[in-house]
Structure 1
Amino acid sequence: MVQWVLSVFNGNNVKGAEKLKKKSSFSGQIGFVLAAAGSAVGVGNLWRFPYLVARDGGGLFLIIYLVLVLTFGFTLLTTDISIGRKTGQSAIRAYESMRPGWKKLGFLTFMVPVLIMTYYAVIGGWILKYFIVFLTGASGDAAKDSYFTSFITNTSSVWFGLIFMLVTALIVYNGVEGGIERCSKFIMPVLLIMVVCIAIFSLTLKSKGADGVVRTGLDGLKVYIIPDVSGLTVSRFLQVTLDAMSQLFFSLSVSMGIMITYGSYVKKDVDLNKSVAQIEVVDTVVAFLAGVMIIPAIYVFSGMDGMSAGPSLMFVALPKTFYAMGTAGRVIGLVFFLLAAFAALTSCISVLESITANCMEIFHTGRKKTTLVLGVIYLAATAVIALGYSLFYLEIPLPNGTTGQLLDIMDYISNSFLMPFITIFSTILVGWLVKPQWIIEEMEHPNGKFSRKQLYIVMIKFVMPVIMVILFLQSTGLLDRILSK
């Protein structure tokens, strides 16, 4: 169906599509790093990271996550970007050009953003709604316990997701340098400044609770960074590690074809060694500062009870916290949700761009017509997922022991199942079939430097295949069954 629609739009103009593809590139290293960092810095950093830290032992999660970023994250980011630039193609054809017969792995990688795109604009729409609420001075309504549930279960919530999806499609429609890079060059510096300012403000907070205890932002910082290992078991440690790895995939946009696509737009004179390090640093710093923004503030006004908010932390606990701050909190809340909207937009753009690039290669279509068709498809998908809490409500048990609605199902399949599965086979492909030197050659171009070459070889050949199999078994619930026998 999709192929027929696309062929109707441009009559299979192969030469025109190839010509357009060759013109697509980032202007240089700064443009690439900001766009890639924009993809990495998203809702995962501002929403998912803080609530996982609060749930998974504070500093314990931070330590595990940092170790994973410097090892697994570095390896996956290096691999994806190098594959993209060396092949000059998006995920499906990139894997096939590396090794004949591996197109199926490219197809699975392509399916990750396809699934994520069905719900990312929905979350972006929720953030947009809260920004409007704070902008119009109705933050008191948002602070009510039932507000978020009432909002997402109302069919009118779908319009916010549709607006977010339209903006995303418009930017991708305008291309790599004219749309994605231009947007990232504006949004990323503004986002970084806002994150730092709110984080500093959060540490200055002080409040006396109903129990008479005075709590400060610095007390909340201790809760955030000091490891909590009480009741820690092997199974619990593996689950925290899985959470951190899932967050890593989601945050760095690896094992989903996005960085392969972005890598294919990078010019040969760009230093990938330096670029990878810069993307790692920006993404990790923003994630850490997001925790500094959120955890101390919630602790000051809600105590340890606020730490158990889980996924509802951004949309339930935070509005309460901002409201409790008084006038200053309403301003901070407005700035925070603007920041979150920016972060969600840059990530949403990267997801749609990955799908667009692959479809252009598969169906030999031009960017504008491909984006128009995908825009229509994902407007429909966004509507369905948004209405999954009202008209299309259902509950399905998931292998991780939870139950989920449509959004949860898409998230589980893409993040907890497909990403670890893809990583297992991509490490086998690079580590043992095409060999690490294939990647190293691209990382050393143009200046011959790859400072973490030995670490990369050990990780891609020996460590990652084994660890990823264990984490995949954990994510599917199979590991608990094996250990219980």
Structure 2
Amino acid sequence: MKQKSGFSGQIGFVLAAAGSAVGVGNLWRFPYLAAKDGGGLFLIIYLVLVLTVGFTLLTTDIAIGRKTGKSAIYAYESMRKKWKFLGVITFIVPVIIMTYYAVIGGWILKYITIYILGSGKEAVADNCFTNFITSPSSVWYGIVFMLLTAIIVYNGVEKGIERVSKFIMPVLLVMVVGIAIFSLTLKTTLDDGTVRTGLQGLKVYLTPDMSGITVQKFLQVSLDAMSQLFFSLSVSMGIMITYGSYVKKDVNLNKAVSQIEIMDTGVAFLAGIMIIPAVFVFSGLDGMSAGPGLMFVSLPNVFFRMGMAGRIVGLLFFLLAGFAALTSCISVLESIAANCMELFHTERKKTTGVLSIIYLIATAVIALGYSIFYVEVKLPNGSTGQLLDIMDYISNSFLMPFISLLSAILIGWIIKPSWIVEEMELNGKKFSRKKLYNVMIRYIMPVIMVILFLQSTGFLDVLISKIQKFI
């Protein structure tokens, strides 16, 4: 059942797709990894991967969507009937992600209210974030965020998703640039008289740190950059296939892919300029903690130390994070809804209504995973996680590299890259990176995805240690 609705044109599609790609990961995960992995060294590796691996994954998903006019499950089935299973696995990823993304949106919503109603002092109180997420009352914030997402998807592609994306994305970009410029003007004097400035923090961010570089460290930085790429671009989860199915045939996909790459990478890069200099000025790089600790603990402390301006900057930052989370959450729910409409031959409003009830319940369960439903599980990659971490590991670390590996095999060796190239060259359009795409999808992508998959399961570390012992 082909979707009747679609994007009005290239701008609407690019902004919606970029909105999906630009998520919370751009704002905390990218700056954290850049600080951890040698600043400019990470940036260079990430940029190379975006222009090669990211380009290949984006091109594949969007071209599949437009050429088949279907969402993941039926798109893969129409390519090769025996490969419908890959569409089903791809569909499972957003199904899992949707259980917890609104929970993270709810956390951001809580901090927005803190900065609207107060000076931000509450955000720096001892264990503020921990006390919040371990309180059963935190569930209401996730539910409100989930309801907002559902309302937008309920209103359809052009009137809902495209309209919201056309408003949010330009505002988001202006906010990122504004806060980034402000961060560069910051400075503070330490007790010993040393002056730290935002420009010094920028230098730390941009300068490649090659000290103590080894083959293993370089590999780890590359794997971090690769995992961030998955986390950021919304690839290998059916979202870009769904969005691609809404794109008109006269849209230039080559330009669209490049524009999405530029917007997503640009926001991530600017997020680094926005966060790393500010954290450096007030906390040194010790403040660049991993995960939610950076966004919900380190940054509120930075904002508080800015004085009166900190409340405004803090509010703007969490509004920015809320916009990023909302556009990504919309795309995840839309992907699920589109597949369900095709599977059950139902209308959008009925489908979205049923899914909303399901995910309001799921959001509540995951949000309560830090209190009433608390569990602690050892994951294959060595980390320990609660319900949210388990869902994130299964979808992002395990399934997505696996899907990309199978997709590369299907396109590269069974259907052949010419199938995608034909769509990219539709109506006489020039596919300038055709040779690069052919080499990437056939030879390089399978190898990279096997390595990434082995890393996510913990086998890569075991393999490396055995090789080192042998050498």
TM-score, structure 2 as length reference: 0.97
Q: How does 1:343-354 map to 2 (within 5 A)?
A: 343-354=324-335
**CA distance in 1: counterparts of 2:464 and 2:279, whole angstroms:** 38
Worse-superposed segment, 71-80 or 91-100: 91-100
> 1:484 is matched with which residue: 430, 445, 465?
465
SS of aligned partner of 1:316: helix
Are residue 77 (structure 1) and residue 55 (structure 2) matched? Answer: no
Name 2:190's counterpart in structure 1: 209
Q: How does 1:401-412 map to 2 (within 5 A)?
A: 401-412=382-393
Name 1:122's counterpart in structure 2: 103
- C-alpha deviations, 1:24-59, integer Å up to 9, x for none? 100000110010011011111112211222222222
Q: What residue identity is the alignment partner of 1:301?
A: F
Q: Which runs of 5+ in 1 are unaligned?
A: 1-17
- C-alpha deviations, 1:245-275, integer Å up to 9, x for none? 1211121100000000000000001000100
Q: How does 1:270-289 map to 2 (within 5 A)?
A: 270-289=251-270
> 2:340 is matched with which residue: 359, 365, 368?
359
Q: 1:181: how far off?
A: 0.3
Q: 1:417: how far off?
A: 0.7
Are residue 169 (structure 1) and residue 140 (structure 2) matched? Answer: no
Name 1:302's counterpart in structure 2: 283
Name 1:55's counterpart in structure 2: 36
SS of aligned partner of 1:365: coil
SS of aligned partner of 1:450: coil
> 1:66 is matched with which residue: 47, 59, 63?
47
**CA distance in 1: counterparts of 2:60 and 2:290, whole angstroms:** 36
**CA distance in 2: counterparts of 1:359 and 1:64, whole angstroms:** 38
Q: What residue identity is the alignment partner of 1:54?
A: A
Are residue 252 (structure 1) and residue 233 (structure 2) matched? Answer: yes
Indicate if the aligned counterparts of 1:270 and 1:446 stay in contact, CA closer than 8 A.
no
> 2:404 is matched with which residue: 403, 423, 437?
423
**CA distance in 2: counterparts of 1:263 and 1:67, whole angstroms:** 24
SS of aligned partner of 1:187: helix
Q: 1:303: how far off?
A: 1.2
Number of matched pairs: 466
Name 2:370's counterpart in structure 1: 389
Are residue 154 (structure 1) and residue 135 (structure 2) matched? Answer: yes
Q: What residue identity is the alignment partner of 1:43?
A: V
- 1:117–1:310 CA distance, 2 compared to 1 (3 A): closer
Q: What residue identity is the alignment partner of 2:275?
A: I
Q: 1:311: how far off?
A: 3.6
Q: 1:361: how far off?
A: 0.9
Name 1:335's counterpart in structure 2: 316
Indicate if the aligned counterparts of 2:289 and 2:298 stay in contact, CA closer than 8 A.
no
Q: How does 1:362-381 map to 2 (within 5 A)?
A: 362-381=343-362
Q: 1:60: how far off?
A: 1.9
Name 1:132's counterpart in structure 2: 113
Indicate if the aligned counterparts of 1:309 and 1:317 stay in contact, CA closer than 8 A.
no
- 1:156–1:182 CA distance, 2 compared to 1 (3 A): same
- C-alpha deviations, 1:291-348, integer Å up to 9, x for none? 1101100100111221245541000000000000001111111111111111110000
Name 1:228's counterpart in structure 2: 209
Q: What residue identity is the alignment partner of 1:188?
A: M
Indicate if the aligned counterparts of 1:397 and 1:403 stay in contact, CA closer than 8 A.
yes
**CA distance in 2: counterparts of 1:295 and 1:191, whole angstroms:** 19
Indicate if the aligned counterparts of 1:53 and 1:59 stay in contact, CA closer than 8 A.
yes
- C-alpha deviations, 1:385-418, integer Å up to 9, x for none? 1111111111111111110111111111111111
Q: Which runs of 5+ in 2 are unaligned?
A: 467-471
Are residue 36 (structure 1) and residue 17 (structure 2) matched? Answer: yes
> 1:192 is matched with which residue: 140, 162, 173?
173
Q: 1:138: how far off?
A: 4.0
Q: 1:83: how far off?
A: 0.1
**CA distance in 2: counterparts of 1:191 and 1:413, whole angstroms:** 30
**CA distance in 1: counterparts of 2:191 and 2:383, whole angstroms:** 34
Name 2:124's counterpart in structure 1: 143
**CA distance in 2: counterparts of 1:85 and 1:246, whole angstroms:** 26
Indicate if the aligned counterparts of 1:55 and 1:308 stay in contact, CA closer than 8 A.
no
**CA distance in 2: counterparts of 1:352 and 1:210, whole angstroms:** 50
Are residue 414 (structure 1) and residue 371 (structure 2) matched? Answer: no
Percent identity at matched positions?
76
Name 2:161's counterpart in structure 1: 180
> 2:296 is matched with which residue: 304, 315, 333?
315
> 1:243 is matched with which residue: 217, 221, 224?
224
TM-score, structure 1 as length reference: 0.94
**CA distance in 2: counterparts of 1:246 and 1:360, whole angstroms:** 31
